[in-house]
Amino acid sequence: MRVGVFARTFARSSPEGVFDVLVDYGFLETQFNMSVAGLSPLPDEIAPALADRIRVAAAERRIALVAVSGTFNMIHPDKEVRRDGLRRLGVLAGACELLGTSTVTLCTGTRDPQDMWRGHPDNARPEAWRDLLATMQQALETAEEHSVTLAFEPEVGNVVDSAEKGRRLLDEMRSPRLKVVMDAANLFDARDPARRLSRSEEILEEAFELLGEDLLLAHAKDVKGSGEVVAVGKGELDYDLYIKHLNEAGYCGPLVMHGLAEEEVESSLAFLRLKLAGL
């Protein structure tokens, strides 16, 4: 395993400028976001010349775009918002070949109309799950059309808020185009005694048992016992245990850091490299 990073961690005036910073830190892999190129994360359109420019700029610096962010609220209470998200996902998926990546990351969404990562009581209702299945089916048809893979991550504020629901989604969709992003910090919920950091061993063991065979990408951020999400190395997540499970699952891709400010990159990178040196 190696350490990667979200490209949008670095605010620069061009994709080339961001890639130059990645090189300076020694990163070889990044998860891209179209905001780095001055567009919205899910744009109305992506000019082929721009996508080609991004691919060439990354290749010249020997940086791999391991994924591109394609998050939208897949169960937004307004079906028109969901429909627009699917349309924009198609635009992004259609540009992936020119961008030089074949993986698009997703957010399974929430009934909260303002924040796609904020929990809502209605997420647990059967109607929310049915909307997720309907939206995901259309997303997978788009993925098939453009030969890309979609990767979602379980997180406590979303309709897929646990490894168990992640397994259920994979089993119900039954598509080779649907895979998992593992982000251990998203599996814990300080408000739920059964999902607190003190139960890390049980929670991580269950997550990898249920999802390990469909793991495509791993994220790296940290979390405190209070539930506050922080930069890698500044929380209480047992990274030795997380990395052990990744290794046992046969994962050999990057640990992609996010949820941190640029000034935190150096210390977080050093923390992860030290952890990985023990493998």
CA dihedral 6, 173, 133, 142 (to 10 degrees): 60
Q: What is the pLDDT of residue 44?
A: 96
What is the distance, to the nearest Å, from the Cα of residue 249 to the centroid of all Cα atoms in its chain? 18
**CATH assignment of 2-276, given 3.40.30.20, 2.40.30.110, 3.20.20.150, 3.30.1130.10?**
3.20.20.150
Cα 120 to Cα 124: distance, rounded to the nearest angstrom: 8
Position 279 scores a pLDDT of 67
Q: Could you tell me which residues come within 8 angstroms of residue 189 by beta carbon, excluding any fewer than 6 positions away?
A: 156, 161, 195, 196, 227
Residue type, 136: M
Domain ranges of the chain: 2-276
In angstroms, the Cα distances linking 62 to 42, 79, 130, 159, 223 are: 25, 41, 42, 37, 32
- Report d(CA 71, CA 84) in Å as an integer: 12
Q: How far apart are CA 101 and CA 276, in angstroms?
A: 25
Q: Which two tokens stand for residue 223?
A: 């979390």
Per residue of the chain (279 residues), what is the pLDDT tens digit? 999 999 999 999 999 999 999 999 999 999 999 999 999 999 999 999 999 999 999 999 999 999 999 999 999 999 999 999 999 999 999 999 999 999 999 999 999 999 999 999 999 999 999 999 999 999 999 999 999 999 999 999 999 999 999 999 999 999 999 999 999 999 998 787 777 887 889 999 999 999 999 999 999 999 998 889 999 999 999 999 999 999 999 999 999 999 999 999 999 999 999 999 876
DSSP code at position 43: -
Is the pTM of the predicted complex or chain greater than 0.85? yes
Q: Which amino acid is at 182?
A: M
Q: Is the dihedral of CA 96, 102, 107, 108 positive or negative?
A: positive
The SS3 of residue 207 is helix
